[in-house]
């Protein structure tokens, strides 16, 4: 192996060696502990240490790195106390996830590291969000993110590269090409000659670097990072390397030809660099022994601390509390001056006033800038707030949800407009597996609002009409808001943006231009988890949300002899269970109306809750009314048949007669 240290000093070179040696010695110890059953799993990076160490040494301490599960050298080079790493791997409280996740599935803002999730791809887009924050805050910082050659097959990889290129974000995309995605060789992963070639299609600079040569990694990444700080742009790096052990220890390496193992064993990044330093007289045998003794002593001391730490003591209250970031809701009442405006105007007004109140709030979505969005909610925003804060996005929902997460990690609020709620399925993975779980896992809030134009009744067919709130009310860590009136929409949107947790904000597009109301002109907020009792009566409790509230009111207006409590839930997560119980105890009969199809919808959970909480007060079974168990059809007669509205009246009358 040829090393070209250039003008690097002996001190710098020895520093690289010590940084390279530390993760190797830790790994060797962990493999012993794994065999002893003292840790549960291990993903070895032996043979790849030069990449993690070289990249980390090349970046500034304040620059974020998003590593993979065999990048131990990132964590050790950043100086994380080993006792905390060892506690993390043993599932103890001094770790970074309090036993809620294992290995390297964690982040730490103190050390500017954001660990991966098992789905691999989302962290690439998250790096884009962190880098975007760097640009917006004029920090001149680079963000580095790692993936393996297998991960480049995921759509998130391509979305992330495209967004980074379009927005010219200072991201180092680091591919560790070690020849195998678990056991699948590269010729079954891709057909291009080198993965670096993919950069051409994205208009992006790329380089191939010997990943086992720590000097090559350090010097080339240092030079690139310095140029990127001055001229922000993304760069794709392909590090050629090899892992000498299995994907994880249980996998083994039987699928690897012995000849290949022997070839790469001769390229060991630690042994070869050590030999180079000794040959140049920069490292003596006594130095080597002293360095190893010092590191091994540190390992043993910190291991003992971790072993002495007691196991996690489960506490239900703590687990439930940590799903969301606590925050103090600020009730802001608006002056009485109001105007009669449409639902769509209330959303636009609330969003604009939140942009004025939060000077760094970033809006992202397809066609939201010059065009003003397909529903014209952000019309005029570009002129008022500028293109940095009102950002058209490529058609890549997953990559943009991930970028929003990255902005949150960097301390910036964002709101993403799904052009239609249906399209969130293309961004489902990062939403439910990254944003929803981050605070519970390692205390990182996802300060993101995703606006969801939804609902039927407008002849938009199966791909533009879903009301898919049940996908998310079922996912711990997300909040779900679904207003039915302009007044509520504006105040709840303000609260959603103030809330540091991820919020799905459903806006029924059938209400956009059909419902009007007197709405305060000034900024105000409304609390989550507080339903509205919009009509009172003793005969029955009607529970609904969104357009279904208006359906219920229309039917009741045609049946004036039925006196009903009408509860507009307004937020589905959190849910106002107190309002439900109070009304049910009063009326004794309940009907729940939702636009979503019946099975698995939130009406089912509310019904079960009522049966468990109020059974002795019921005079009849809880009745649920919902749309048909089919996709939403396009033709008006078919859509009318699909929707629950026309079946509600008969169901209500049957319940009253029970």
Catalytic residues: 464
- Across the beta sheet with 390-392, what order do the strands follow? 390-392, 362-365, 414-417, 448-454, 503-508, 479-481, 571-573
DSSP letter string over 181-225? ETTEEGGGT--SS-GGGGGGGGT-EEEEEETT-HHHHHHHHHHHH
Give the whole-angstrom CA distance, residue 414 versus residue 403: 9
The two three-digit tokens of residue 297, written as one number: 């002593």
Q: Is 106:98 a contact under the CB 8 Å cutoff?
A: no
How many alpha carbons lie under 13 Å from residue 208 in its C-beta half-sphere? 10
Give the whole-angstrom CA distance, residue 609 versus residue 581: 9
HEC per residue, 454-519? ECCCCCCCCCCCCCCCHHHHCCCCCEEECCCCHHHHHHHHHHHHHCCCCEEEEEECCCCCCCEEEE
Give the whole-angstrom CA distance, residue 439 versus residue 434: 9
SS3 state at 91: coil
SS3 state at 200: helix
Burial class of residue 537 (count of CB atoms within 10 Å of its CB; 0-12, 13-18, 19+): middle
The two three-digit tokens of residue 545, written as one number: 């949300």
Q: Which residues pair with 237 in a beta bridge?
A: 174, 207
Give the whole-angstrom CA distance, residue 334 versus residue 343: 18
Give the whole-angstrom CA distance, residue 189 versus residue 195: 10
Phi/psi for 462 (5° steps) reads: -65, -20
The two three-digit tokens of residue 169, written as one number: 């974000």
| Degrees, nearest 5: CA angle 94-130-503 | 80
How many alpha carbons lie under 13 Å from residue 307 in its C-beta half-sphere? 10
Identify which of 517, 520, 589, 594 has the alpha carbon closest to the alpha carbon of residue 552.
Answer: 594
Give the whole-angstrom CA distance, residue 450 versus residue 423: 12
- Identify the DSSP state of 150: G
Name the CA radius of gyration of the chain, rounded: 28
């Amino acid at each position: 192996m040829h090393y070209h240290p250039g003008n690097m000093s002996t001190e710098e070179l020895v520093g690289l060696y010590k940084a390279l040696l530390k993760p190797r010695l830790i790994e060797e110890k962990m493999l012993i502990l794994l065999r002893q059953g003292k840790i549960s799993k291990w993903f070895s990076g032996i043979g790849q240490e030069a990449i993690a160490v070289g990249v980390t040494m090349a970046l500034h301490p304040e620059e974020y790195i998003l590593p993979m599960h065999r990048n131990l050298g990132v964590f050790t080079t950043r100086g994380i106390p080993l006792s905390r790493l060892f506690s993390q791997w043993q599932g103890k409280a001094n770790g970074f996830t309090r036993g809620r996740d294992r290995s390297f599935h964690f982040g730490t803002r103190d050390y500017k590291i954001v660990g991966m999730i098992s789905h691999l791809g989302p962290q690439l887009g998250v790096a884009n969000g962190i880098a975007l924050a760097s640009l917006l805050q004029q920090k001149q910082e680079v963000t580095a993110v790692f993936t393996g050659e297998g991960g480049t097959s995921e759509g998130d990889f391509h979305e992330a590269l495209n967004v980074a290129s379009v927005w010219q974000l200072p991201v180092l995309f680091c591919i560790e090409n070690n020849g195998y995605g678990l056991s699948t060789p590269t010729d079954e992963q891709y057909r291009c000659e080198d993965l670096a070639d993919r950069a051409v299609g994205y208009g992006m600079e790329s380089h191939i670097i010997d990943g086992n040569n720590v000097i090559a990694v350090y010097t080339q990444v240092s030079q690139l990072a310095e140029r990127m700080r001055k001229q922000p742009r993304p760069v794709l790096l392909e590090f050629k390397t090899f892992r000498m052990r299995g994907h994880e220890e249980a996998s083994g390496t039987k699928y690897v030809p012995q000849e290949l193992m022997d070839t790469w064993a001769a390229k060991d990044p630690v042994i070869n660099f050590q030999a180079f330093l000794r040959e140049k007289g920069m490292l003596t045998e006594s130095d080597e022994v002293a360095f190893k003794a010092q590191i091994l002593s540190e390992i043993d001391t910190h291991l003992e601390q971790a072993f002495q730490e007691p196991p996690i003591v489960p506490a239900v209250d703590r687990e439930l509390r940590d799903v969301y970031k606590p925050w103090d809701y600020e009730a802001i009442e608006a002056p009485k001056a109001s105007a009669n405006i449409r639902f769509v105007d209330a959303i636009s007004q609330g969003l604009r006033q939140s942009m004025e109140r939060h000077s760094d709030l970033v809006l992202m979505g397809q066609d939201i800038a010059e065009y003003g969005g397909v529903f014209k909610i952000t019309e005029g925003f570009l002129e008022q707030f500028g293109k940095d804060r009102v950002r058209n996005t490529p058609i890549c929902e997953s990559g943009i949800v991930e970028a929003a997460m990255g902005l949150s990690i960097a301390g910036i609020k964002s709101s993403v407009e799904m052009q239609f709620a249906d399209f969130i399925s293309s961004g489902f993975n990062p939403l439910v597996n990254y944003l929803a779980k981050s605070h519970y896992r390692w205390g990182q809030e996802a300060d993101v609002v995703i606006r969801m134009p939804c609902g039927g009744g407008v002849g938009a067919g199966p791909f533009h009409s879903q009301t898919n709130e049940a996908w998310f009310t079922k996912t711990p860590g997300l909040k779900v808001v679904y207003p039915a009136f302009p007044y509520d929409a504006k105040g709840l949107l303000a609260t959603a943006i103030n809330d540091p947790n991820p919020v799905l904000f459903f806006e029924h597009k059938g209400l956009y231009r059909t419902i009007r109301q007197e709405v305060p002109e000034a900024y105000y907020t409304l609390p989550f988890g507080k339903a509205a009792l919009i009509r009172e009566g003793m005969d029955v409790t009607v529970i609904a949300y969104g357009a279904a509230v208006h359906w219920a009111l229309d039917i009741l207006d045609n049946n004036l002899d039925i006196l009903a409590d009408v509860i507009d839930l307004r937020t589905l997560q959190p849910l106002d269970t107190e309002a439900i119980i109070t009304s049910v105890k009063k009326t004794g009969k309940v009907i729940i109306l939702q636009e979503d199809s019946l099975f698995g919808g939130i009406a089912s959970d509310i019904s079960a809750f009522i049966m468990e909480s109020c059974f002795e007060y019921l005079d009849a079974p809880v009745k649920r009314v919902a749309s048909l168990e089919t996709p939403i059809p396009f033709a008006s007669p078919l859509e009318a048949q699909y929707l629950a509205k026309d079946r509600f009246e008969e169901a209500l009358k049957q319940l009253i007669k029970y």
